Amino acid sequence: MRITFWGTRGSCPSFPSPGEVRAYAENVSAATIAYVQERIHSEPGLAELRELFQRPSREVATELPFDHPPGFGGETTCVGVETSEGHTIILDCGSGLRACSAEILRQHRESNLDRVSLFGSHSHLDHRNGLSFAGLCYADPPFEIQVFGGSEFLSMLDSRFGLFSHTTTAATYEDDPVDYAAMTASFHGIELRAQSEQQELKPAGPWEVRNLAEPVVIGSTTVSPFRSYHGSTECLGYRIEHGGKVFVFSTDHEKLSPGTPGLAGLDRDALDKSVRADQELVEVCRGADLAYFDGQYLRAEYLGQQGIGAGPAIPRVGWGHGCVEDILDRVSPGEIKHALIGHHDPERSWLALMEIAGRLEEFSTGRDYEVELARDGQVIDL
């Protein structure tokens, strides 16, 4: 399967400011000058430098002793999964869905793709704010879109667009004028809900309902949902298996520790839920070829010991997001081959992300697994 990360920012879209771009350009200029000075003073020095700069400028650029900046991007959560059988799975519909949809439409023209499966993690805005901008919702011929998620996620999409009930209210138009009637796509909702032996699965809205414990089968691909801990908000992660390979998508999960819940006024029940969800996550990820995690904070930022960028130092316990250090602790025991850290905080600057990426590269050196920051546009084949 081919996995493309279309959006890896958290909370809201965020891109490098003009000041950040200028600062990086200044660093590149300084490094270029230092390189030229070194070549001038080397032997044979000037003649070698003259020969170098007679070559095309783009070729010369490859000789410079620094890399181009990683393109982290700034779109919110959206991941595309393409299987060898031609099935398309979308994980979350944040602002990254706009670019994801453009690629799907290209495939639509070339291969007659007309059906996709969308799996939502939860109802928060940054995980659904790309839907009204997704071209696949307005395509002709139209798409059939199966939407999987918890009841809160499906209810929010129906309230916002009338996707399943084909009804609208005043709330439908609070953000923009788009509703189901403007879309050509047909939407079919499937609620994923945990079931006890005594509980009958009855839909909470105009959609069908299925047991959370039963994997969703799409061709030869299985998608197994599991619960994450995102405070009081219902949130799901997904383990996808295809062709003997495993990809785990886990966003907006917070690992609470016994010493920290009181910082946010949380009770023992919150701690217990987080611990159970984290234990399940470890098992779900065991032996995964690739796993995507929410690592929005460094632990010192999470505890309120330091701010993010120029922001204030405030405790972020109970906000429903993970720490980079928690992921580093999770990878080796879980035998995860490759871990990507995403849901980057919108206050995290381009240069700060580059610094963290460098530290993760050092951490991964010499180990039998790799940990790195996720980037918009990143493609991984399993």
pLDDT for 70 equals 61
| C-beta of residue 130 within 8 angstroms of C-beta of residue 7 | yes
Given pLDDT bands bounded at 50, 70 and 90, which one contains residue 233? very high
At residue 98, the pLDDT reads 98
pLDDT confidence bin for 27, thresholds 50/70/90: confident
pLDDT > 70 in the chain, percent: 92
Q: How far is CA 175 from the centre of its chain?
A: 23
pLDDT in tens, 67-120: 656 678 899 999 999 999 999 999 999 999 999 999 999 988 878 789 999 999
pLDDT at 47 over 60: yes
Question: At residue 51, does pLDDT exceed 80?
Answer: no
Give the pLDDT score at 43: 57
DSSP of 35-98 = HHHHHHTSSSTHHHHHHHTTS-HHHHHTTSSSPPPP----PBSEEEEE-TTS-EEEE--STTHH
More confident residue, 184 or 50: 184
Query: Residue 130's pLDDT is what?
Result: 97
Question: For 116-120, 267-271, 297-301, which range has the lowest pLDDT when averaged over its residues?
Answer: 267-271
Residue pair 321/293 in contact by the 8 Å Cβ criterion: no
- 340-358 mean pLDDT: 94
Nearest-angstrom CA–CA distance, 26 and 318: 39
Using one digit for the tens of pLDDT, what is the confidence trace for 129-161? 999 999 999 999 999 999 999 999 999 999 999
DSSP string, 258-327: TTSGGGGT--HHHHHHHHHHHHHHHHHHTT-SEEEEE--B-HHHHTTSS-STTS-----TTSS--BHHHH
DSSP 333: T
The 8-class DSSP code of residue 160 comes to: H
Residues 6+ apart with CB under 8 A from 150: 120, 122, 123, 191, 192, 193, 234, 235, 236
- DSSP class of 129: T
* Confidence category of residue 65, pLDDT binned at 50, 70, 90: low
Lowest average pLDDT, out of 10-14, 31-35, 93-97, 346-350, goes to 31-35
Whether the pLDDT of residue 213 is over 80: the answer is yes
Reported as type and span, the H/E element at residue 161 is: helix 151-161
Mean pLDDT over the full length of the chain: 91
- From residue 329, how far is each of 251, 323, 374 by CA, in Å? 17, 10, 18
Structure tokens at 185: 């796509």
